[in-house]
A = this chain, B = another copy of it.
């Protein structure tokens, strides 16, 4: 009997809560619809929010616990205006925070309209008057430089309309690339622009979307911070969100709600979900000035990020010369190493790097350790790289350095870009004793 026959016999259908015995373990979860890819596989949504696939051959017993109660999609709430509250604009780009499960395929789809987002979190209207706008609807891994420029335009327009701040709904996968890009695009930003994502889609009980949105709105309402930041869960309990610096944050877990961590920096602030209290963790966070807002949204397309690994060959570096790249961020090992020692392959790699630099490609070194700082004076191999023209990326995250280099080469001459890439412009490089250099 096939899987559908087995389920039909027990009167089990999509959405039912079932208990399954498989390989001597007991699992409870909601039956997800099977698709072509999962023929003969029972897919359960566990209470943790994760999907579990069970091969039919391993199923020793199955019983229905509760009939299907597929969560309905909330109907759009009419937006109410309260004159005493500030205005917050929610801009929408796509991603899980706007996603729900398509029960016909079991897959997660980006399909919410901005009004739906607000209707999911009605209490946000007690914090502020909410404007919404869908800028685009793209999964974050597909975002390109042109999208950053488009998002920046939408942000500028909202700022012009006089809002207290902006929430940018964004997929989490590349949220730190976008937050870095917006950090560089804008100079003298007069309001907070907070990127908010969700690790679990909004139709799950375990969704983090609502709390992240509420905390971002509270932060915007209460703060004099002005700049780009990310608002996500601090830990796996639903108590605090952190406001993370746009150039110093990174996704460090595939699925946990507290996936985003500050790297080589403190979080800007903590927002308590219950008390709505904002506690600042950074003393000198950016505030609004009377300086005019500057928007530089150029990006050089021919820029790449290259992570080094054992056993590399020169062709992996000379590719960037052959293809005419203008910028390359190397994500090296340790203090900023690439294999440029005395092995024959290493010597060829050093030649390839030298040649790439001589052709006018700006090369910046970061570390795949992520935490810590490049220091390119300590070892012989490091000096070889510096002599070949490689510029130390200080304690910049590789992703931030990549965005910064593309942005610099899109708005400045290569000579200016070389000078600016190792200097702190938007908090992407920590001040420390090495500033005395």
Task: Please give the residue numbers on chain A whose beta carbons come within 8 Å of chain B beta carbons, in ascending order.
Answer: 22-23, 25, 27, 37-38, 41, 43, 46, 50-55, 58, 106-109, 138-145, 172-174, 177-178, 181, 251-256, 259, 299, 301, 303-312, 315-316, 319, 323, 331-343, 345-346, 367, 369-375, 377-381, 383, 386-387, 399, 402-403, 406, 433-434, 436-437
Copies of this subunit: 2
**Minimal beta-carbon separation of A294 from chain B (angstroms):** 22
Q: Is the CB of A37 within 8 A of B383?
A: yes
Please determine whether B108 and A378 come into contact, CB atoms closer than 8 angstroms: yes
Q: Which of B143, B259, B316, B334 contacts A173 (CB 8 A)?
A: B334
Residues of chain B within 8 A of A23, CB atoms compared: 436
Report the separation of the CA atoms of residues A437 and B178 in the bound assembly, to the nearest whole angstrom: 35
Q: A254-B336, A256-B371 are in contact. List 8 more A-B contacts (CB 8 A).
A: A22-B436, A52-B436, A53-B436, A108-B380, A144-B343, A145-B311, A254-B369, A310-B402
Give the chain B neighbours of A383 by CB distance below 8 A.
37, 107
What is the CA–CA distance of A172 and B372 in the complex, to the nearest angstrom?
14
CA of A141 to CA of B376, assembled, Å: 14
- B107 contacts A379, CB within 8 Å? yes
A300 to chain B, nearest CB (A): 10
Closest B residue by C-beta to A145: B311
Query: Nearest chain-B residue to A181 (Cβ)?
Result: B310
How many Å from the CB of A433 to the closest CB on chain B?
A: 6
A145 to B306, CA, bound (A): 20
Q: Is the CB–CB distance between A399 and B144 below 8 Å?
A: no
With a cutoff of 8 Å between Cβ atoms, the chain B residues found around residue A437 in the complex are 41, 52-55
Which chain B residues border A38 with CB–CB below 8 Å? 377
Known interface pairs A372-B256, A375-B51; A141-B381 also in contact (CB < 8 Å):
yes
Q: Which residues of B contact A434 (CB under 8 A)?
A: 52-53
B367 close to A254 (CB less than 8 A): yes
A259 contact set on B, CB distance < 8 A = 369, 372
Expressed in whole angstroms, the Cα–Cα distance for A378 and B181 within the complex equals: 28
The answer to whether A371 touches B142, judged by C-beta atoms less than 8 angstroms apart, is: no
B-side contacts of A381, CB under 8 Å: 139, 141-142
**Contact between chains at A403 and B334 (CB < 8 Å):** no
A251 to B371, CA, bound (A): 9
Cα A338 to Cα B333 in complex, Å, equals 23
Q: A174-B333, A304-B316 are in contact. Are A254 and B373 (CB under 8 A)?
A: yes
Q: What residues of B have a CB within 8 angstroms of the CB of A311 in the complex?
A: 144-145, 299, 301, 303, 406
A386 close to B254 (CB less than 8 A): no
Query: Are B52 and A138 in touch, CB under 8 angstroms?
Result: no
Measured CA separation A142–B341 after assembly (Å) = 6
Docked-complex contact A369 and B333, CB < 8 angstroms:
no
Nearest 9 pairs between A and B by C-beta?
A254-B372, A142-B341, A173-B333, A173-B334, A141-B337, A307-B307, A177-B310, A305-B309, A253-B371
Between A and B, 28 residue pairs with Cβ closer than 8 Å are A25-B436, A41-B437, A51-B377, A52-B434, A55-B436, A107-B377, A107-B380, A109-B380, A139-B379, A141-B308, A141-B332, A141-B334, A142-B340, A142-B346, A144-B310, A145-B311, A173-B334, A174-B310, A251-B369, A253-B371, A254-B335, A254-B336, A254-B374, A305-B307, A307-B331, A309-B399, A310-B402, A315-B323
